[in-house]
Structure 1
Amino acid sequence: MDDETKGKVKEALLEMEEPVHILIFTSKDNCPMCDDTVKIAKEVSELADKLTFEELNLESSKDIAERFKVDKTPAMVLLKGKDRNGSYMGIRFFGIPSGYEFTSLLDSILTISHGNVGLSDEAKEYLRNLDKDVHMQVFVTPTCPYCPRSVVLAHHMALMSDRITADMIEAQEFPELSQKYQVMGVPRTVINEVHHQEGAAPENMILDLIRKA
């Protein structure tokens, strides 16, 4: 980040209320974006006293990786708290959150910290009473200007229910997943493996998919 960007990010992070810890899982093999992902987390964490990060090797930290069901790298898991023992909020990033997706990372940090979820009252009520597990995967690319809207929506939904896990997945870094879920364009939201929505769909459309899941 240049100095101007750092200044803007630092100002935004002043809104943090509770501490947030970023767990980054990396691996030595087949992870060309691991170093850059760690660099982003390090730079951001240096701009706020309430933000910390920790790098873990996926192979040597299998017990922690299993806790958060992390099976690929680079991966970020955001926790509400000061360390790895913080509260898991169901929010993960697979692949580097760069380009437009950097805004998704900042939004998730801030929303975990202050708890102001940007959903309708109807959506909040439905998600609070969710009676099934939901896995949301939002496929993105760093150059997609519409993708953060879908990632932010999924992450806000995860914050409303401990039954939801919401992932940002950088489509180009994980081509096998992109092929599996037939990602021809981004954003593409996949829910519980079978239901999907292309484009930056509004809240009500994603809620309908969750109801069907």
Structure 2
Amino acid sequence: MLDASLKEQLQAYLQRVVQPIELVASLDASPKAAEMKELLHEIAALSDKITVLESNDDTLRKPSFAIKRAGSDVAVRFAGIPMGHEFTSLVLALLQVGGHPIKFDDAVIEQIKNLDGDFEFEAYISLSCHNCPEVVQALNSMSIINPRIKITSIDGGVFPDEVEARQILAVPMLFLNGEYFGQGRASVEEILAKLDTAGGARRAAELSKQEPFDVLIVGGGPAGAAAAIYAARKGIRTGVVADRFGGQVLDTLAIENFVSMKETDGPRFAIALEEHVKHYEVEIMNTQRASKLVPGKMIEVQTESGAVLKTKSVILATGARWREINVPGEKEYRNHGVAYCPHCDGPLFKGKRVAVVGGGNSGVEAAIDLAGIVAHVTLIEFGDALRADAILVKKLKSLANVDIITSAQTTGIHGDGKKVNGLSYTDRNSGASRKLELEGVFVQIGLVPNTEFLKGTVELSRFGEIEVNARGETSVPGIFAAGDVTTVPFKQIVIAVGEGAKASLSAFDYLVRSSVEEEPVAAAA
């Protein structure tokens, strides 16, 4: 299962294990069970603190295994073999169950310990999903801190009958005590906010008591992180309020055009951004979504949780999100056949027929990736030609299980009440209506800026982007903006970083000039 290099690395990590671990396997006669048994014995051979046991409990999923702290209730369970993107989750679980410290803020750890109740989570994942590990690792850590929290991470590819029965067409998908809990990437703070609503209110009250900031950045993506770093280096009081630190980068699989690094992935890049910001004295307020901006001499930023933050200047870096096609059926079947991340959800459509809506780079790349998994892909483009790079179009056209339909306007997504079974479109040349029978629709038509809460506050373009000048200034003094949320062309990470730095320098210049203007003029002698 593990090659020599991987075994060597894992053995080095396992030296940090300080408490005995039991790998308790629940096996059947399947090939996957044989693979799992081999993997567990390979891991146990790398540390004298790890042993392998087998369970006869027929109520447990097979094949699955628990990583258990010997003589305690501390355990996490994997149903399937956690390789691919989940290998890091496996390593972290081994270390943390084995007594290695969990790197959460003290306040978060206390909140987890104080949760009152029994919580049994089931997390459905795919090993190709780059969003799943954050959820798995958060829940694993929570269960180690508070053993009343139980977690089983389930590879949908190993348990297809469960996936079908529960109509799971998007991952990660969480169930709590048998009931649907949520879908998509989620940090430990976001999970806690849903479990402990009183804790969210307490947090909002604490934030409202803070002293005013010199500069408050709204948004934690590349633009927001760069702005925070540049502001903090000036020695001024800096804060970041963000729905989730990392922003849209967290949903990006491959990054191969950021100058100075040949390649990385979005989650890894987001972690690096946060670590860099934390190197400075920056107050990071995560899981706080801005709901209102009130201009004035002292600007107010209000959040959905009820917090009210005051600041002398603001940098808006709220980024953008996937654009929806806004046709009947899209919202109704979201996560039930309508998807936006081919890397995460593609494996759930293995052997099925799907459509990709959008003929730009993201749409064509999605179609190429999906063609290697699903039975057939139909790419639908509104314009009369694909807009993607020529090399991508050439690759797409070489694939035997792909059809391309141009000059087509998607008009509806259909289903049986539980999941998608078709898509309709209008031929823009003939006006004829047509319908495709399929099981999945991947929407890839670009981005929409996150500016709904700013309407009537700062000037927006007809596309909803924040109008900025060359200095990152908006139409309101003291309010600046940077990144994908603005009118600056070319939505790229490297450009967002530069714009964030520029907006921060402009905000500092504004603060300096404002302080000079406020100084009283000395009385004449």
Please indicate the TM-score interval, normalised by the length of the shorter structure: 0.7 to 0.9
Aligned to 2:66: 77
Q: TM (normalized to structure 1)?
A: 0.84
Distance 2:95 2:88 in 1: 11
Q: Does 1:45 align with 2:44?
A: yes
Q: 1:196 to 1:16 in 2, by over 3 A?
A: same
Match of 1:123 among 81, 88, 108: 108
Q: CA RMSD in A?
A: 1.9
Q: Secondary structure at the match of 1:9?
A: helix
Distance 2:95 2:132 in 1: 18
Deviation of the 1:196 alpha carbon: 2.4
Letter in 1 for 2:15: L
Aligned to 1:16: 17
Percent identity, please.
26
Instruction: Tell me the alpha carbon deviations over residues 176-195 of structure 1, each in whole angstroms, 9 at most, x when there is no partner.
Output: 32234432122222222224
Counterparts of 1:48-59 in structure 2, within 5 Å, are 48-56=47-55
Any stretches of 5+ residues in structure 2 without a counterpart?
198-525
Q: Does 1:158 align with 2:143?
A: yes
Aligned to 1:146: 131
Q: Secondary structure at the match of 2:158?
A: coil
Contact 1:37/1:97 (<8 A) preserved:
no
Instruction: Tell me the alpha carbon deviations over residues 140-175 of structure 1, each in whole angstroms, 9 at most, x when there is no partner.
Output: 112222222211100101012121101111112112
Q: Secondary structure at the match of 1:23?
A: strand
Match of 1:91 among 76, 91, 106: 76
Letter in 2 for 1:139: Y
Q: How many pairs align? A: 196
Using the TM superposition, name which of 44-53 and 88-97 deviates more: 88-97
Distance 2:128 2:155 in 1: 11
Aligned to 1:176: 161
Letter in 2 for 1:93: F
Letter in 2 for 1:41: L
Distance 1:90 1:10 in 2: 21
Contact 1:191/1:210 (<8 A) preserved:
no
Counterparts of 1:167-206 in structure 2, within 5 Å, are 167-206=152-191
Distance 2:185 2:129 in 1: 11
Q: 1:180 to 1:208 in 2, by over 3 A?
A: farther
Any stretches of 5+ residues in structure 1 without a counterpart?
none
